[in-house]
Amino acid sequence: MAVLKGLSFNVRSIQSQLRRVTVFNFLAAFNVTVLFLQECAIPHLGNYENYAKDWTYGPFVWSGSNENRSAGVAILFKGPVKIQTVQEILPGRALFVSVFIDGVLWNLLNVYASPEPKERIELFETLYVFMASFKPTILAGDFNCVLNEFDRYGLGIRRADRSAATLIKNIVNDFKYKDAFMCLHQDAPIEKRITWKSSTFGSRLDYVFISKSFTPLECMHEENIISDHKVVCFNISSPAEQKVGRGFWKLNSTLLKDKIVYDDFSKVFKVWQQENVHNADILTWWEIVKERIKRYFIKLGVLKAKEKREFYENLNTHLQTLYMFKDIGCDVDKEISIVKQSIKNSLDEKARNVIFKTRVQHVEENEKCTRYFFRKIESSRELITEIEGEKSRGGILKHVFHFYQNLYSTKNIDSDFMEDALNDITLVLNHDDANGLNDFITEKELFDTIQSFKRNKVPGLDGIPIEFYVRFWDILKDDLLCLFNKCFYDKKLPASWQKGVISMLPKEGDKTDFRNWRPITLLNTDYKILAKVFANRLKEVLGQVIHTNQVCGIPGRTIHQMTNLIRDGIWYVKDRGQQLAILSLDFEKAFDRISHVYLFNVLKKMGIPEGFLSSLRAFYDNCTSQVLVNGFMTECFNLKCGVKQGCPLSPLLFICAIEPLLLSIRRDKMIRGVHVPGGGGLQAKVTGYMDDITILCTDVLSIKRAVQRTEHFCAASGLRLNFKKSCMLTVGDWDSLSDCPIQQRESVKILGMVFNSQNDGDESWNMVLENVNGLIISWTTRHLTMEGKVLLIKMVLMLILLYTALTYPPSMLVLKQIIRTCFVFIWGSKMERLKRIFMIKPPEKGGKGMVDIKRFLYTKYLILCLKNYNSDNYWSFFIQYSAGFIFKRHGWCVLSLKNPVCFSPSWFYEILRATISDFNLQNKSMGDLLNKLKMKQFFYVSERMIPI
């Protein structure tokens, strides 16, 4: 633990040597290491070195101003220190210094705010932008405003102070600072709080804010005869060890947009290509080239950052020179205005970089960087402070290493149960389709795969993002094609592909418990490109061997086929007075525990050809990982089981691995499920989306049998059923279920939907409304135009609403709440200045292009039902039973007279009648309704979203 003693003091000018010597002699008596001085009244780039004659106790950093004669800040040191970085944020107003004191790094920011409200607010807004890049551990100085009414006597908070005070409070809250004085003297009387006073009133204008992880040991205000401000003395202890590491390098993709960079790198890369003319060992060559790419862009990034920093500093120096000329009577107002605009543009560019770092997907063109983005940056810095009682950095890293080393160790599996699981697999791939998996990778296949990746995602250890491969496709394509085909047919991967970095993402629950963290493996982008090529091929053929009960990963299957089957199953048994138990199974770390021996045996039994299977094995042979914790890496450990969350192949491999469980439950005649109307004796027993498995049982024996089947599967595969998180919903009258191993609940949450015996969707919509309100509250901190707000509603809110609406269409009461909330957000108040009917018109017709929410949600639900009417999943039987008569009336579907029909369907099918009538859909053909382009105009006019 390091302790830093310091002070902050408004010196009221040290311009003259006599005054300077007096002040320095006064300050020398304090037993401190660092001194923050404000209102130094020194000119910009004055003869700072002369001050060394007067301050002989250690290093110093000065920042003066020619704009305001009283401005000027300094950070002085007593004793030997090592200054790392100096950044003059605003001359004479804000100075940042990064310094090593006794081997500990301290980031110090000294602030002297202007008495003028407008200038003060501009300063605080500028601080926001800079602090997103480097976070000071100590923020101190004269802020020239009070934060609340308790910090002033004789005069209330002036209106001009309120905006500035709000900005300071936001900085403190968003960047997680604490007030050193108030931490120690919360109940101090006003006389003890104030740092400046006159004959009639006093105020607390001088503050010392410290990072949340630091501890204030002492903070006091001392009277003096040098200035009308008190000296704020503080004593602060740092954490016992560094809490945040540097992580690993990632290429700044904004560099790729520079045409000069593109041309220069292309020339350099062509030189590298000459070293591999004969493609003798392209794997080794590619590893060397990636290291060179890293060095090239690190050097370029440092150079560009230095250029931007120097450009900003030169602009400020030029501005201060112009102020000096103005003082002697020169007419330079126009030049001053031009330079100020250039400084503003430079700050705007820095703010856009902050927005880019947040990885927010939907950003309006020219949107300002506001609290919304700064809080995103700060939330990404949140640390893991404790894991299972361990709080030290070394202890946390050790705990994490041992946990994941054990998690990914070889799992013991029961060979007999594995044999039973393999025997349940009877379907195999078509011979021609299976052989097609072994075809050479083509240039078009590779290009389409690269283009399909989402942008602005975190890369793996090599730091090279997908944007690099997109930007330099023309010069990379031949080498990449050769590399990937070499890997494919030699069944060997480059060494860097075998290393991954696990990032821990929090789930619901206690964050000190490992089970409540989801490990996402950050993999190299070139690895993921080849993996996605494999995944795309596999995806096209797996439908032959994966039953429609598994709705993940197979083209044409959707998550709502599962949620709607559960919903209809509840309604169907209630309508017949039957009973139903819905078991929602949770597997502990399912992706991470699956046995490799079991997995590849399943793939082989499904008919995956040996050549393709050997290539898949190469993705898992000799693989290692490290866990990234607070920017520090654990030791490496081997991955001997599990599939990598973050790899494009993993979802498909996992659904293959879990398919035998679904097969065994579906074929077990002792497990009785929900009878499917018109299914010819079919029973809906089980459905799944990846590892989210839901079992439908209609008697106690079925429940016990299903759990037994699941435990046998776990013994075969290495998975482990989590009885604490697995739960069961019962519908109808049941005898005692006290001996059932699955806990009973009044409602269960499956894939984000809440199911209960009422089957009304109210709980799901309550969650959605809470989520929508939270999002809109966070968006109010953004500077959005009306068009930007409409775009956010379309691009973000409508997806959230649609997900729930496709299972439980919203009631009119819920719709009114949603629509009202959206329009209050658009207008910024409850007063709407334009009728909603005009708001939903396209811009070229005088509207704002707002979506008609009711029309959109209800019609999308209708289209989903139509699409699945004749599909091969079990839900289609329920659609035919409940909505067949409705669709037949409009000539959209054929209804077999052999199949049963319901003339009084549930409310979520009855709503289809109203949808058809309300929106005049009866005259549209089935083809029109299922045509995306034709229905696009029906919903709303699509507008262009221009991200930064």
Question: What does the pLDDT average to over 352-363?
Answer: 64
Kindly state whether residue 201 falls inside one of the protein's structural domains: yes
H/E stretch holding 824: helix 812-827
Greater model confidence, 544 or 736: 544
What digits encode the pLDDT tens for the residues 178-229? 999 999 998 888 888 999 988 788 899 999 999 988 999 999 999 999 999 9
- pLDDT: which is higher, 225 or 510: 225
Across 90-126, b (16+ Cβ under 10 Å) vs e yields bbbbbbbbbbebeeeebbbbbbbbbeebebbbbbbbb
> Distance between CA atoms of 39 and 143, rounded to whole angstroms?
11
* CA dist., res. 697 & res. 713, Å (int): 18
Separation in Å, CA 122 to CA 37, 118, 126, 139, 748:
21, 6, 6, 17, 51
Domain stop point among 237, 262, 293: 237
> 770 and 751, same structural domain?
no
174: exposed, middle or buried (C-beta count within 10 Å: 0-12, 13-18, 19+)?
buried
Residues 190 and 312 in one domain: no
| pLDDT score of 933 | 76
Residue 601 maps to a domain: yes
Whole-angstrom distance, CA of residue 369 vs CA of residue 382: 21
Tell me what the mean pLDDT of segment 792-817 comes to: 94
pLDDT at 374 over 80: no
CB 164 within 8 A of CB 124: yes
Please choose, from the candidates 33, 92, 31, 39, the residue with its C-alpha nearest in 3D space to the C-alpha of residue 58: 33
Residues 779 and 643 reside in one and the same domain:
no
DSSP state of 390: B
To the nearest 10 degrees (0 to 180), the angle between helices 371-379 and 117-131 is 30
Pairing relation of β-strands 138-142 and 152-153?
unpaired
Is 282 inside a domain boundary? no
What pLDDT is stored for residue 423 in this prediction?
Answer: 94
Per residue in 273-306, pLDDT tens? Answer: 988 765 568 999 999 999 999 999 999 999 998 8
How far is Cα 823 from Cα 161, in angstroms, rounded to an integer? 32
| pLDDT tens profile 321-336 | 888 888 788 888 899 8
Which has the minimum average pLDDT: 76-80, 145-149, 249-253, 816-820?
Answer: 145-149
Q: Report the pLDDT value the prediction gives residue 896, as an integer from 0 to 100.
A: 79
Within-domain flag for 439: yes
Stated pTM of the model:
0.85
Domain count, the chain: 4
Residue 944 pLDDT: 41
Please give the average per-residue pLDDT across 543-566, as a whole number. 95
Q: Is 359 left (phi over 0), alpha (psi -120 to 50) or beta?
A: left
- Same domain (yes/no): 779, 745: no
**DSSP bridge partners of 142:** 112, 206
Contact 784, 367 (CB under 8 A): yes
Report how far residue 656's alpha carbon sits from residue 490's, in angstroms, rounded to the nearest whole number: 25
pLDDT tens string 825-845: 999 988 888 888 888 888 888
In whole angstroms, give the CA distance from residue 892 to residue 889: 8
Joined together, the tokens standing for residue 298 give 């690190």
The whole-number average pLDDT for the span 619-633 is: 91
Residue 384 counted as domain residue: no
> Do β-strands 499-506 and 34-38 pair in parallel, antiparallel, or remain unpaired?
unpaired
| Confidence band for 47, pLDDT divided at 50, 70 and 90 | confident
> 380 lies in a domain?
no
Tell me the CB-side half-sphere exposure of residue 21, using CA atoms within 13 A: 5
Establish if 911 belongs to a structural domain: yes
Quote the CA–CA distance of 162 and 146 in Å, as a whole number: 8
**Domain of 323?**
253-276+301-358
Q: pLDDT tens for residues 462-479?
A: 999 999 999 999 999 999
Cβ neighbours of residue 859 closer than 8 Å, sequence gap 6 or more: 915, 919, 921, 935, 938, 939
C-alpha to C-alpha distance for 701 and 708, rounded to whole angstroms: 10
User: Which is nearest to 948 in space by CA: 555, 484, 367?
Assistant: 367
Looking at the fold, whether 458 and 603 belong to one and the same domain comes out as yes
Q: Where does a domain end: 702, 735, 756?
A: 756
**756, 771, 805 - which closes a domain:** 756
Give the Cα separation of 357 and 193 in Å (integer).
39
- Quickly list H helices, 185-281: 190-193, 259-273
Query: Do 29 and 2 contact (CB within 8 A), yes or no?
Result: no
For tokens 């950050």, name the residue. 522
Whether 737 and 786 map to the same domain: the answer is: no
Q: Which of 752, 762, 759, 741 is nearest to 583 (CA)?
A: 741
On whether residue 929 sits in a domain, the answer given is yes
Asked if residue 469 and residue 554 are part of one domain, the reply reads yes
- Pairing mode, if any, of strands 3-10 and 34-38? parallel
User: If we measure between CA atoms, which residue out of 446, 634, 638 comes closest to residue 528?
Assistant: 446
Looking at per-residue pLDDT, the higher value among 370 and 896 belongs to 896
How many C-beta atoms surround the C-beta of residue 198 within 10 A? Answer: 10
Q: Do residue 739 and residue 766 come from a single domain?
A: no
pLDDT at 719: 96
* Residues 447, 562 within the same domain: yes
CATH of the domain at 149: 3.60.10.10
Q: What is the dihedral of CA 152, 156, 157, 159, to 10 degrees?
A: -160
Residue 439 shares a structural domain with residue 345 = no
Helices (H), 229-370: 259-273, 282-327, 333-358
* Whole-number pLDDT of residue 372: 66
Give the integer Cα–Cα distance in Å for 459 and 731: 47
The C-alpha atoms of residue 901 and residue 899 are separated, in whole angstroms, by 7
User: Is 942 or 498 the better-scoring residue by pLDDT?
Assistant: 498
Q: Are residues 436 and 313 in the same domain?
A: no
For the chain, the distance separating the N- and C-terminal CA atoms, rounded to the nearest angstrom, is: 42
For residue 800, count other CB atoms closer than 10 A to its CB. Answer: 14
Pick the closest to residue 242 from 402, 98, 107, 392 (CA basis): 392
Whether residue 772 sits in one domain with residue 732: no
pLDDT of residue 157: 55
411 HSE (CA, 13 A, CB side):
27
Is pLDDT at 942 greater than 50 in this prediction? no
Say how far apart CA 494 and CA 356 lie, in whole Å. Answer: 31
Whether 404 shows a pLDDT value over 50: the answer reads yes
Residue 866 pLDDT > 80: yes
Tokens of 908: 């979520």
What letter would DSSP give residue 230?
P
State the pLDDT at residue 318: 87
Average pLDDT in the chain: 89
What mean pLDDT do residues 873-897 have?
Answer: 90
- Residue identified by tokens 């250690």 is 58
Out of 7-16, 376-385, 481-490, pick the least confident.
376-385
